[in-house]
A = this chain, B = another copy of it.
Amino acid sequence: MQRESDCERIIGTLREHGFRITPQRRRVVEIVCAADGHISAGEIYDDIHARNPQVNISTVYRTLEWLENLGLITRSDLGEGREVYEIATRGKHHHLVCDRCGAIIEVDDSILDGLREILMEKYGFRAEITHLVIHGVCKSCRENDGSP
Protein backbone atom coordinates (compact mmCIF):
# COMPACT_ATOMS: atom_id res chain seq x y z
CA MET A 1 0.00 0.00 0.00
CA GLN A 2 0.92 3.63 -0.38
CA ARG A 3 1.83 4.20 3.26
CA GLU A 4 4.38 1.41 3.33
CA SER A 5 6.10 2.60 0.20
CA ASP A 6 6.16 6.13 1.61
CA CYS A 7 7.87 4.80 4.66
CA GLU A 8 10.48 2.80 2.74
CA ARG A 9 11.06 5.69 0.39
CA ILE A 10 11.72 8.07 3.27
CA ILE A 11 14.04 5.66 5.03
CA GLY A 12 15.86 5.08 1.75
CA THR A 13 16.20 8.81 1.15
CA LEU A 14 17.64 9.33 4.60
CA ARG A 15 20.10 6.47 4.24
CA GLU A 16 21.22 7.64 0.80
CA HIS A 17 21.98 11.05 2.25
CA GLY A 18 24.17 9.48 4.87
CA PHE A 19 21.93 10.06 7.85
CA ARG A 20 22.07 7.52 10.61
CA ILE A 21 19.02 5.35 10.79
CA THR A 22 18.47 4.41 14.40
CA PRO A 23 15.63 2.16 15.56
CA GLN A 24 14.04 5.21 17.19
CA ARG A 25 14.06 7.24 14.00
CA ARG A 26 12.77 4.30 12.02
CA ARG A 27 9.85 3.87 14.43
CA VAL A 28 8.92 7.55 14.23
CA VAL A 29 8.92 7.43 10.44
CA GLU A 30 6.87 4.22 10.45
CA ILE A 31 4.29 5.64 12.82
CA VAL A 32 3.88 8.91 10.94
CA CYS A 33 3.51 7.01 7.67
CA ALA A 34 1.04 4.55 9.15
CA ALA A 35 -1.05 7.31 10.68
CA ASP A 36 -4.27 8.12 8.91
CA GLY A 37 -3.58 11.81 8.45
CA HIS A 38 -2.40 13.95 11.33
CA ILE A 39 -0.71 12.69 14.43
CA SER A 40 0.70 14.55 17.39
CA ALA A 41 4.09 14.19 19.01
CA GLY A 42 2.43 12.82 22.12
CA GLU A 43 0.55 10.16 20.16
CA ILE A 44 3.75 9.11 18.41
CA TYR A 45 5.52 8.92 21.73
CA ASP A 46 2.74 6.87 23.33
CA ASP A 47 2.88 4.45 20.44
CA ILE A 48 6.64 3.97 20.60
CA HIS A 49 6.77 4.01 24.37
CA ALA A 50 4.19 1.21 24.65
CA ARG A 51 6.62 -1.23 23.02
CA ASN A 52 9.92 0.39 23.91
CA PRO A 53 9.62 2.09 27.28
CA GLN A 54 13.22 3.21 27.26
CA VAL A 55 12.63 5.57 24.35
CA ASN A 56 12.43 9.17 25.49
CA ILE A 57 9.98 11.78 24.29
CA SER A 58 12.79 14.21 23.61
CA THR A 59 14.01 11.84 20.93
CA VAL A 60 10.58 11.96 19.34
CA TYR A 61 10.61 15.74 19.29
CA ARG A 62 14.14 15.85 17.92
CA THR A 63 13.32 13.33 15.21
CA LEU A 64 10.17 15.19 14.18
CA GLU A 65 12.07 18.46 14.00
CA TRP A 66 14.73 16.76 11.90
CA LEU A 67 12.21 15.22 9.49
CA GLU A 68 10.40 18.52 9.22
CA ASN A 69 13.60 20.39 8.41
CA LEU A 70 14.34 17.82 5.73
CA GLY A 71 10.91 18.47 4.24
CA LEU A 72 9.80 14.87 4.68
CA ILE A 73 6.95 15.64 7.05
CA THR A 74 4.87 18.75 7.61
CA ARG A 75 3.72 20.29 10.84
CA SER A 76 0.32 21.92 11.30
CA ASP A 77 -0.73 24.09 14.19
CA LEU A 78 -4.36 23.30 14.91
CA GLY A 79 -4.57 25.96 17.58
CA GLU A 80 -5.12 25.50 21.30
CA GLY A 81 -1.59 24.22 21.51
CA ARG A 82 -2.28 21.27 19.24
CA GLU A 83 0.54 20.57 16.82
CA VAL A 84 0.25 17.68 14.44
CA TYR A 85 2.48 16.10 11.83
CA GLU A 86 1.92 14.17 8.63
CA ILE A 87 4.00 12.90 5.75
CA ALA A 88 4.72 15.57 3.19
CA THR A 89 3.75 13.48 0.16
CA ARG A 90 0.01 13.78 0.62
CA GLY A 91 -1.73 16.23 -1.64
CA LYS A 92 -2.30 19.52 0.10
CA HIS A 93 -5.73 19.50 1.62
CA HIS A 94 -7.88 21.05 4.30
CA HIS A 95 -10.73 19.94 6.50
CA LEU A 96 -14.30 21.02 6.95
CA VAL A 97 -15.62 20.02 10.34
CA CYS A 98 -19.37 19.84 10.93
CA ASP A 99 -20.16 21.15 14.38
CA ARG A 100 -23.50 19.32 14.39
CA CYS A 101 -22.60 15.75 13.48
CA GLY A 102 -18.81 15.85 13.66
CA ALA A 103 -18.32 14.87 10.03
CA ILE A 104 -14.95 15.72 8.55
CA ILE A 105 -14.82 16.57 4.87
CA GLU A 106 -11.49 16.72 3.09
CA VAL A 107 -11.25 19.50 0.53
CA ASP A 108 -8.62 20.27 -2.03
CA ASP A 109 -6.24 23.16 -1.57
CA SER A 110 -7.59 24.84 -4.69
CA ILE A 111 -10.59 26.17 -2.76
CA LEU A 112 -8.19 28.73 -1.33
CA ASP A 113 -6.93 30.04 -4.67
CA GLY A 114 -9.35 32.97 -4.63
CA LEU A 115 -8.52 33.91 -1.07
CA ARG A 116 -4.80 33.82 -1.78
CA GLU A 117 -5.29 36.12 -4.75
CA ILE A 118 -7.27 38.61 -2.70
CA LEU A 119 -4.68 38.67 0.06
CA MET A 120 -1.87 39.21 -2.40
CA GLU A 121 -3.71 41.95 -4.30
CA LYS A 122 -5.04 43.86 -1.33
CA TYR A 123 -2.26 43.37 1.21
CA GLY A 124 0.77 42.05 -0.67
CA PHE A 125 0.59 39.12 1.71
CA ARG A 126 1.66 35.69 0.50
CA ALA A 127 -0.53 33.26 2.41
CA GLU A 128 1.15 30.00 3.30
CA ILE A 129 -1.78 27.96 4.44
CA THR A 130 -0.52 24.47 5.10
CA HIS A 131 -3.60 23.16 6.77
CA LEU A 132 -6.87 24.87 7.43
CA VAL A 133 -9.68 23.64 9.63
CA ILE A 134 -13.02 25.27 8.88
CA HIS A 135 -15.90 24.71 11.25
CA GLY A 136 -19.50 24.97 10.16
CA VAL A 137 -22.56 22.89 9.28
CA CYS A 138 -22.51 20.17 6.63
CA LYS A 139 -25.06 19.67 3.89
CA SER A 140 -27.09 16.87 5.46
CA CYS A 141 -27.29 18.60 8.82
CA ARG A 142 -28.51 21.77 7.14
CA GLU A 143 -31.15 19.82 5.22
CA ASN A 144 -32.27 17.91 8.29
CA ASP A 145 -32.50 21.04 10.38
CA GLY A 146 -34.02 23.13 7.64
CA SER A 147 -31.42 25.78 8.43
CA PRO A 148 -30.07 27.96 5.61
Contacts and interface: CB of A to CB of B under 8 A. Distances in A.
Interface of A: 77, 79-81, 96, 98-99, 105, 107, 111-112, 114-115, 118-119, 122-130, 133-139, 142-143, 147-148
A136 B126 contact: yes
Given A79-B79, A114-B115, A129-B136, A123 B99 contact: no
B148 A126 contact: yes
How many copies of this kind of chain does the complex include? Answer: 2
B124 A138 contact: yes
A125 B139 contact: yes
Contact of A114 (B81, B114, B128, B133): B114
B114 A118 contact: yes
B124 A142 contact: yes
Given A124-B142, A137-B126, A119 B99 contact: no
A122 B9 CA distance: 34
B107 A111 contact: no
Given A79-B79, A115-B115, A118-B114, A134 B129 contact: yes
A103 to B, nearest CB: 9
